[in-house]
Amino acid sequence: MTFRAFAIDLDGTLLVGEDVPQENITALKRAHEAGFQVMIATARWVQMAQRVEEQIGIKGLVIACSGAQVFDPVSGTDVFDERLPADFVRELYEICDSDRCVATVTVSDRVLLKLDGEPDHSQVPAEMQWVRKLTGAADSLPRVAVIQGSAINKRIRDELQPRFQDQVLFLNSIGPTGKVLLTLTSASASKGDALNAACRHLGITAEQVVAFGDSENDIEMFRAAGAAVAMGQADEHTKAEATHVTGRNDEAGVAQAVYRILDTGSP
């Protein structure tokens, strides 16, 4: 198999905290110059992914919102756009509004931040809006909701997962601080679904893609791709779903695998 593209998760994979190690930037620039498509594939929102692309010096398709959105920066339009179901969203918002949590909810044009206590707005991205309550804060359904807080995430799984597991994906992802986050998208919006949509748009097959990731929400992307690289610090389940394991994110594991692919054709 000749690989033609990379789909790379951000937190715990390409990033260390909020930063892209220089080794990863150099490796991906070399891959881009060699003709590889480089796609960011993240649970975060499009604007965040594009800021990372700017650091690398690329402008590719973005798989955002844990697979609920594929954005084409050339046309400025979505190739793929899936939303959480309305009845689930109503109950999720009620739970989040009634309890302590940190929640980021990506709607059509912005990211809602539900946080106990007003943040320092100088530290908040322009596309993010702090809200005291999620209910009534937006007039569109969200693509993804990411919830932090062990107690509230247990409550969401206990109360909502039994009734909505056929409509909603309940997946763990790893945040920039290493904490486990509950990531919620439509059941038709995994990173695997998004990767297939992105590949159709690019005129390539998913088998020509190498996927990189570190957590549960990357597994469907691993299964869709021709090869899958798990980070060295990933949990054993995620590693077992990958075809290869590279170094840790803080060892520039992405760069290690990219150089192997460029030099040998295999991760």
Class of the CATH domain delimited by 86-186: alpha beta
Give the mean model confidence (pLDDT) for residues 120-136: 93
Chain mean pLDDT for the chain: 95
End-to-end CA distance of the chain: 12
Structural domain boundaries in the chain = 5-81+189-264, 86-186
253-264 vs 22-33: helix crossing angle, rounded to 10: 30
pLDDT, tens digit, for every residue of 155-191? 999 999 999 999 999 998 877 777 889 999 999 999 9
pLDDT, tens digit, for every residue of 12-55? 999 999 999 999 999 999 999 999 999 999 999 999 999 999 99
pLDDT, tens digit, for every residue of 190-208? 999 999 999 999 999 999 9
Domain topology for 5-81+189-264 = Rossmann fold (3.40.50)
DSSP 68-98: TEEEETTTTEEEEE----HHHHHHHHHHHHH
